[in-house]
Amino acid sequence: MRKRSTRTEYTVITESKSNSVYSVNSVFKFLLCVLILQFFLCEISNAQKFYPDDPILVDHDRKNIPQPPDIEVSQIYDFSYNTFYKTRDKNRPPAANINTLGEVPDSTWFTNRLGVRSMTIEEFVRASNQVEGPDMSAPWQVLRGKTQGITPGCIIKDGRGDIYFVKFDPKDFPQLSTSAEVISTKFFYAFGYNVPENYLVTVNVKQFQLAPDASFRDVDGKKRKMKYRDLKSIFSRVSIAEDGTMQIVASRALPGKPIGPFLYTGTRSDDTNDIFPHEDRRELRGMRIFAEWLNHDDSRSINSYDTYVTENGNSFIRHYLIDFGSTLGSGSVAPQTHRAGNEYLIEWPPIFKASATFGIWDRPWRNVKYPYYEYLGRIEADYFQPELWKPEYPNPAFDRMRSADAFWAIRILLRVTDEMVRAGVEAGQIRSKDAQEYLIQTLMKRKQKIVQYYLSLLNPLDEFHINGRELTFRNLGESAGLGNPESYEYQWFVFNNDTGETKALGATEKAMTTTIPVPDATADFLMVRIQSLTDRQPNWRKNVDIYLRTNQLSSAYMPPGRDSHAAAWDIIGIERAE
Amino acid sequence: MKRLSTITVFLLSFFISAHATCEEKTRAEILDKQRDEKSHHLVPEKMNIAQRLLLQFENGAGLNYKSFYPTYGAGSPGAGFMPGVRFWKPHAFGSPFDFQTSASYSTKSYELYQLQFGTILQKGPEPFVGFGGTGGLSTFRGTRKRRSNAFIYADLRYLNFPQEDFYGLGPDSQKADRTDYGLESSSFDGVFGYHFQKYMVVGLRAGFVQDNIFHGTDSRFPNIETKFSPIEAPGLIDQPNFIRVAASTFLDYRDNPGHPHSGGMYGFGYARFDDLDEDRFRFNRYTIDLRQYVSLGSVQRTIAARFLTILNKADQGSRIPFYLLDYLGGTESLRGFPEFRFRDNNLVYMSAEYRWEGTHAMEFAFFFDAGKVFHEIGDFSLDHLETSPGFGIRFKTPSSTMIRIDVAHSNESGLRYLIKFGASF
C-alpha cells in the first residue's frame, strides 16, 4: 500500500515536476524567440537608410553635462601636432554630422542663416550684436591688461556693467586689424557660425581708467596689480591718432563660462554631446571655403572659444569662432605677409626645392604685387587660387574637406549678394574710399573664383522641389556661368529603404530643362539619379541621387504648416558622387 | 498539442518583438543613444606633459623662475659652452630703471658676472646671446629702442677667462706658437646714449678697467711667458689700470636687424685708453664696421657683406697690451682658423655671404672670409689676406638667428666645424 502511495506520490511529484519543467521550457523558448527575433528585426530596422524624422533640421546636442574643466591650447603644440603628425592622416571619410539632404542641422556649433533664408542688409550688418556698443557715457574701467603675445589688449567694464575685450590696431597700421575683424565677423555670422558681438568704436585714450583691482600680465607672463604705466605701455604699441583717438574693437564678453578653445580634431572627451569628430563636421570642413574667401589664414584652435552655458535648465557647451583680426589684408600686427594663404609655415616641397636649387627656385607667390592701401594690408584676387589656398598650418578639418563639403559652403557663399559684400566692408569704416572699393572688388573676384572652381568638381544641381508631379532643380554652375548643359540624363528607381536596394523604373531618359516628371509608382520610396551633360564640365556627369518618400508615411513628422495633400512625395535625401 | 504551443509561443514573441525594444525609431533617437552611451564613458579632458610645458613657455613663464632666466653662450669664443643665469627686473623697485645681473660659468671654467642698472638697452627677458669677447669695445650689436629715446645705465663686469690663446703678434705668427694665458678683468662703466629717429644711435661709455694676466690652465699648450717676452707681448708682466672712454654711432636701416635681407648697418667708434699707472699704455682705437645686405630679386636670396677695420694708435712711447687687442680667427671672423689666431695693433676683415632660405626658419650660406692683421696703420692694405671659404646652415626665428652651423676651411687648419648661437653678422 505504502509502496503504491509512494509510487503515486512519486508519480504525482514527477508529473508536477514534469509540468513545472514543461513551463520553464516554454518560458525559456519564448524568451529565446523574442531575443532572436528582436535581433533580426532590429538589424533590419537599423539597416534602413531613412528614418521617419529625416531629414532632421536640428541636432539636439544640449544634453545636460557637468561643468568641464578649462583647457588651454599650446600654440606650439597645436602647430607641431598638425604640421608634423596629423597631416599624415590622408583619410577623408564623408562628413559625419550631416542630415540626409547633406545639410548641417542647427546645433551648438552652427545655426543655419543665410544658407536657408534671405537676410536683410540690416540683419546682416547687425550680425550677432545685441546692443549699440559699449556705453560711452562714463569712463571705462580697465579690469585687466596684457602686453604679452603679439597683440596688446585689455578687458574693460563699461558704464552699464558690460564686460568687453578691447583690441587695438598695431602702431603703424591704423584700422588694419580692427576693420578686418568687424568685417569678417559679419560674414561668419551670416554663414551660420557662433561669433562674438564685435563693435567698432572710435574712442579717446582718456576713456580708459584703471579699476582699483585691475590686474596685469607682464612680458614674463606674471600677473600683478596693474599700474598706470602698464596702460601707457599698452598704448605705446597701438595706433593712436594725433587727437588721442583710436579705433578699437570692443568684443562683448560671451555668455557662459569660458572653458577654452576647441580643437579641429577629435572630440572633447568630457562632453556627452560631442559625438562627431570635429574634423568630420561639415561646418568645420566647409569653413575652409569661407576662410579662403576672407583670407582667414589664422583659422586654428587658438581662435575658437567654448563656453559652458545654461539654457532651459540644461547646461552644455556652445562653440564659437573668434579673433578675425588676421583676415583680409591684415596679419594682426602688420599687413599679411606674402606667404599668408599661399604656403604653410612649414611645407616640405617648396623648402626642398628652394634649398636644393641654392635659392634660385623661388616661390611664385613672392612676386605677387599688392596695391598699397594704408588701412588694408595685403589682399588680392588676381593671383589667388582657391584650390591652393592654405592657412598658417594644416587644419585637420580643412584637410578633410571633400567636394560635397565644399558644395555645401559654396551654396551659402552664393547667397552673399554684392550688396552684402558692400555692406560688410562698409561696416569696417575704412577711412579711404579707394581702399574700401578695392576690398569690395577683391572680395567679389575672389568669390567668383572660388565658386567657379568648386562648382566644377561635381554635379552642381541644387534647389530640388516637387511641384505637383514634377521634380524641379537648379544648376548652380550654370547660374555661375560655368556652362550650359546640353541636357540632363535621369533615371528613376524604386528604393527599398530597409535593404538599400534599388530597382529601375524604366530606362534612362533625357531632359532638356531642369524639370523632370515624377513617375506614377506605388512605392514608399523613389530615387532619381541625375547627370548633367556638357563637354565643358566633365565632372558634372557625376551622379546626384535624390530620394523621395511618399508623404503618407511621414505624416507624423509633417513640418508645421505643410499641407499633407499638397504633393505625393517629399524630398528626404540627396547624395552627390564626389 | 506541443506543436501548437510552440507555434503559439513563436507568434506571440514575433508580435512582441515587432513592437517593442527595437529602441531607435528615429534619427534623433539614434543620436540620443550615442550621446547616452558616451555619457557612461566620459573622461576629463587633460593636456599631456608636452602641452603643459609648452604652454608654460608660451605664457612667458616657462624658462624663467621669479625673474631668473637661463643664459647661454655669453662669454669668450674660447670658453666652450657657457650656460648661466640672469636676473632681470624691469622697473626695479618701482623706479623707471631696470636692473639685471647675470652669472655664467663654462665647461672650461670661464666665469663672467655682470650687473647693469638703468634704462638698459637689451630687448627684454630673453636668453642672451653673443656678449662681446675680450677684445674691448670693438664690435657692434644692433640694439632696439625700448621705451624712450635716451638710455643711461651703469655697467659692471667681472670676468675670469683662464684659457685664452696667444700665437704672437703679426700676420706671420705661427700656429705652432700657440700659448695659453688667463685673463681676469673688472670694469666699471657708465653708458649713455640716444636714439635719433629709428635708424641712428649715438652712445658714450666711460669707465675704469682693471686687468690681470695669470697662468693659463689649458695644459695642452705652454704658458705665454714661456714663449713670448714682454716685447713680443706688451703688457705681459705688468697690467695697468685704465680709464676708458668710448664714443660710437651707428646707422642701422636693415629691414630686420636679427634676420636682415636688405639695408645696411654702419658703425663708427672711437675709444681712448689711458694707463693710470705707468703711462706706457696709452692709445686710441678707431673702429669702422660696415655691413650691407642686398636681396637678389627676392628675400629668399641675399648677399651679405661686411667690412671691418680696427685701428689702434699708441701714443708716443706707448704700446698696446696684447690682451686688449682684437683678433681674427674663430666663429666670428676668418672662420677657417682657430680662435684668437691673428693679433696685432690693427686688423682688416671682410666677409661675403650668399644666403638663401629654404624657409624663413632655415637658411643656407656660402661664405668667404678674408682678412689680416698688421702692426702700423700705414701698413693698411688689402694684400696678402688670409682667406677662409665655407658653408653654413642657420636656424632662425622671425627676429634673430638662433643657431649657426658653419663648416669653414683654411690652408692652415683644414676643415673646421663651428656651432654658434647668433648670426655671423
- Work out the average pLDDT over B90-107: 84
What pLDDT, on the 0 to 100 scale, is given for residue B75?
64
Quote the pLDDT of residue A293: 98
Instruction: Give the residue, A286 or A149, on which the prediction is more confident.
Output: A286
Separation in Å, CA of B206 to nearest CA in chain A: 31
Task: Work out the pLDDT band at A40, boundaries 50, 70, 90.
Answer: low
| Contact by Cβ (8 Å): A547, A495 | yes
Question: Residue B230: is its pLDDT beyond 70?
Answer: yes
pLDDT above 50: residue A3: no
Cross-chain residue pair B17–A220, CB shorter than 8 Å: no
Torsion of CA A283, A286, A290, A292, to 10 degrees: 150
User: Which band of pLDDT confidence, cut at 50, 70 and 90, is reported for residue B321?
Assistant: very high
- Residue A429: per-residue pLDDT: 96
Q: Do A343 and A297 form a contact (C-beta atoms < 8 A)?
A: no
Span B348-396, pLDDT tens digits:
999 999 999 999 899 999 999 999 999 999 999 999 999 999 999 999 9
Which pLDDT does position B131 carry in this prediction? 24
Q: Which of residues 196-235 of B touch A (CB under 8 A)?
A: none
Of all residues in chain A, the one with the smallest CA distance to B38 is A272
Q: Tell me, what's the pLDDT at A558?
A: 52
CB pairs under 8 A, 24+ apart, for B206-210?
B206/B243, B206/B244, B206/B245, B206/B246, B207/B155, B207/B243, B207/B244, B208/B241, B208/B242, B208/B243, B208/B244, B209/B185, B209/B241, B209/B242, B209/B243, B209/B244, B209/B273, B210/B185, B210/B186, B210/B241, B210/B242
Band (pLDDT 50/70/90 cuts) for residue A568 is confident
Percent of chain B with pLDDT over 70: 85
Nearest beta carbon to residue A272 from set B39, B125, B357: B39
Q: What is the pLDDT of residue A335?
A: 94
Confidence of residue A16 (pLDDT cuts 50, 70, 90): very low
Contacts of B36 in chain A (CB under 8 A): 272
Nearest chain B residue (CA) to A266: B45
How far does the CA of residue A62 sit from the closest CA of chain B (Å)?
10
Looking at residue B62, what is its pLDDT? 54
pTM above 0.90, yes or no: no
pLDDT band (50, 70, 90) for residue B142 = low
| Pair B317, B264: CB distance under 8 Å | no
Q: Judge whether residue A9 has pLDDT over 50.
A: no
Q: What is the pLDDT of residue B418?
A: 93
As a whole number, mean pLDDT of residues B270-285 equals 89
Asked if residue B12 has pLDDT above 70, the reply is: no
Residues with Cβ within 8 Å of B421's Cβ and at least 6 positions away in sequence, in order, are B72, B73, B129, B130, B402, B403, B404
Q: Give the confidence band of A149 by pLDDT, cuts at 50, 70, 90.
A: low
Distance of alpha carbon B10 from the chain centroid: 87
Can you give the pLDDT at residue A45?
Answer: 52
Nearest to B34 among A217, A229, A275 (CB): A275
Give φ, ψ of B146 to 5 degrees: -95, -75
A454-475 per-position pLDDT tens digit: 999 999 999 999 988 899 999 9
Cell 554684392 maps to which residue? A418
Q: Is 70 exceeded by the pLDDT of residue A560?
A: no
* Residues on chain B touching A354 (C-beta within 8 angstroms): 300, 356-359
Averaged pLDDT of chain B: 85
Would you give the distance in Å from CA B295 to the centre of its chain?
Answer: 24
pLDDT higher than 80, residue A207: yes
Please list every residue in chain A whose beta carbon sits closer than 8 Å to the beta carbon of residue B359: 345-347, 350-351, 354
Contact: A68, B59; criterion CB under 8 Å: no
pLDDT of residue B143: 52
Task: Write phi, then psi, for A549 (nearest 5 degrees).
Answer: -130, 135
Q: Which three cell numbers stand for residue B352?
A: 661675403
- Of A289, A310, A511, residue with least CA distance to A401: A289
A211-221 tens-digit pLDDT: 999 998 766 66
| d(C-alpha B25, C-alpha B150), whole Å | 77
For residue B357, list chain A residues with Cβ-Cβ distance below 8 A: 354, 359
A153, A246 contact by CB (below 8 A): no
pLDDT tens digits along A152-199? 899 999 999 999 999 999 998 999 999 999 999 999 999 999 999 999
Which pLDDT belongs to residue B123?
44
Q: How far is CA A518 from the centre of its chain?
A: 34
pLDDT confidence band for B280 (50 / 70 / 90): confident
Give me the DSSP letters along A400-415. Answer: T--HHHHHHHHHHHHT
The string of DSSP letters for A115-168 reads: TTS---HHHHHHTT--SSSS--SSPEEEEEEE--SSS-EEEEE-TTS-EEEEE-
pLDDT at B130: 23
Pairs of residues, one from chain A and one from chain B, whose beta carbons lie less than 8 Å apart: 160
> What is the pLDDT, as a whole number, of residue A530?
97
Percent of chain A predicted with pLDDT > 90: 79
* Res B137 pLDDT > 70: no
**Residues B142-165, mean pLDDT to the nearest whole number:** 79
Q: At what angle do helices A287-294 and A176-191 cross, to 10 degrees?
A: 150
What's the confidence (pLDDT) of residue A559?
Answer: 53
Instruction: Give the pLDDT confidence score for residue B169 in this predicted structure.
Output: 96
Residues of B with Cβ-Cβ distance to A273 under 8 angstroms: 35
More confident residue, B134 or B172: B172
User: Is pLDDT above 50 for A10?
Assistant: no
Range B229-245 average pLDDT: 92
Q: Do A77 and B54 touch (CB under 8 A)?
A: yes
Q: A6: pLDDT confidence band, cut at 50, 70 and 90?
A: very low
Q: What average pLDDT does the segment A77-101 reach?
A: 91
Q: Which three cell numbers stand for residue A393?
A: 598650418
pLDDT at residue number B164 = 93
Task: Tell me which of A57 and B72 has the higher pLDDT.
Answer: A57
Ranges A552-561, B330-339, B349-358: which has the least confidence: A552-561
pLDDT band at A445 (very low <50, low <70, confident <90, very high): very high
Highest mean pLDDT among A371-380, A538-547, B113-122: A538-547
| pLDDT(A394) > 80 | yes
Q: Does residue B135 carry a pLDDT above 50?
A: no
At residue A17 the predicted structure's pLDDT band, cuts being 50, 70 and 90, is: very low
pLDDT value, residue A468: 85
Question: Does residue A395 have a pLDDT over 60?
Answer: yes
B397 touches chain A (CB under 8 A): no
pLDDT for res A15: 39
Cβ distance B17 to A41 less than 8 Å, yes or no, reads yes
The Cα–Cα gap between B80 and B162 comes to: 12
Cβ of B6 within 8 Å of Cβ of A29? The answer is: yes
pLDDT band at A301 (very low <50, low <70, confident <90, very high): very high
As a whole number of angstroms, the distance between CA B98 and CA A219 comes to 14
In chain B, residues 41-80 whose CB comes closer than 8 Å to chain A = 42-45, 47, 50-52, 54-55, 57-61, 64, 67
Average pLDDT over residues B25-44: 93
Calculate mean pLDDT across residues B61-80. Answer: 70
- Predicted confidence (pLDDT) per residue in A93-104, tens digit: 999 999 999 999
